[in-house]
Amino acid sequence: MLGALAVAPSAGAQAPWLRLPPTPTLPRPNSSGTASIDGIRLWYAEFGRGAPVIMVHGGLANSNYWGLQVAALAPHYHVIVLDSRGHGRSTRTDAPIGYDLMSSDVLALMDYLHIRRAALIGWSDGAIIGLDIAIHHPQRLTRLFAFAGGLTKEVGEFHAGSSRSPLDAGGTRLGIFICYESVFPGEVREFANQGAQVLVNLSNDGWYGDSGAYAQHLNQTRMRAIENDRWILSATNTGVTASIDPYGRTVARLPRKERAALVAPYALTSVTTFYTRHGDWFASLCAIISAGALVTRFVFSGKVKDSE
């Protein structure tokens, strides 16, 4: 059988709409610096004059991504951008980073800059920070524009599932797992155990940049094919889109960062392996036996020494 896997835009020299744009740069600010807030140094910059507008970026990004928007807004507004704690030019502490904490950073920066109320624009994590402030401190906002803020579980639109049911696609049963769910063998095996005939992994590997994490992700996905004796179709954006056979071999693949369609071989099967049916039972039993053997050895050796 043949399957087509779509991948994301190329970074190669192609038509402009096929290329990922470079990260923008910020215009020259009126002022910039760091504010001492709750044990960190929070970087910020100010542009233009007028009603205040605060722009909060998404996770794993920084305020440079607002460069084009700042250039458009600064002639009309007092624009403030900041790098969230642990991002860009801002420092962090050992405390876990959460939305409530990052929201308090924004409010503290407003106090530092003597801004009583402001409009807030946020995308992704920045949108959730804006929503958090709107819910708990509505008096501090004049307006809120939140983009893609509902894509994370913290907003409350998603709930833990209770089953691993395959998707019926015209009579073909697909076991679909998203991104780094592939590192959890006990979760993926449930799809095969429930009748999935082929496994599908959809992943945004763009989070990992040019590090080796995309290759680690591919190798971990290959292990799931071996454990469950299933073909896996792995579709990524900047990672490796591939067809993986039940032996863990990559039989067809596309290079990273290339927009294309992969016509790849795969097959449907309903066989189940011992691991698919029983999971980590054998490994757990081996661990218990090994631990028991170690305890017995130390106890026995102690009695021998006492008898001497």
Please write the tens of the pLDDT for every residue from 232-291. 999 998 888 999 999 999 999 998 888 888 899 999 999 999 999 999 888 888 999 999
Residue range of the domain that includes 192? 160-272
224 Cβ contact partners less than 8 Å away, ≥ 6 residues apart: 182, 185, 188, 189, 199, 201, 230, 232
**CATH number of the CATH domain containing 209:** 3.60.110.10
What average pLDDT score do residues 95-124 get?
A: 95
Q: Is 92 exposed, middle or buried (0-12, 13-18, 19+ CB in 10 A)?
A: middle
Which residues are 144's β-sheet partners?
Answer: 120
In the predicted structure, residue 25 carries a pLDDT above the cut 60: yes
Of residues 11 and 206, which shows the higher confidence score?
206
Say if residue 228 is in the same domain as residue 297: no
235 with 306, same domain? Answer: no
Q: Compare 157 and 50 and report the one with higher pLDDT.
A: 50
Residue 54: its pLDDT value, please?
A: 98
Q: How many separate domains does the chain show? A: 3
User: Looking at 155, 187, 216, which one is the last position of a domain?
Assistant: 155
Looking at the fold, whether 30 and 151 belong to one and the same domain comes out as: yes
- Mean pLDDT calculated for residue range 29-51: 97
In a domain, 211, yes or no: yes
What rounded mean pLDDT belongs to the chain?
87
Model confidence, pTM: 0.51
Q: What sign results for the dihedral spanned by CA atoms 168, 174, 178, 180?
A: positive
Give the residue with greater pLDDT, 213 vs 15. Answer: 213
- Out of 126, 155, 184, a domain closes at 155
12 in a structural domain: no
| 216 belongs to a structural domain | yes
Transcribe 250-275 into DSSP letters: EEEE--TT---EEEEE--------HH
Q: Given 131, 155, 179, which residue is the final one in a domain?
A: 155
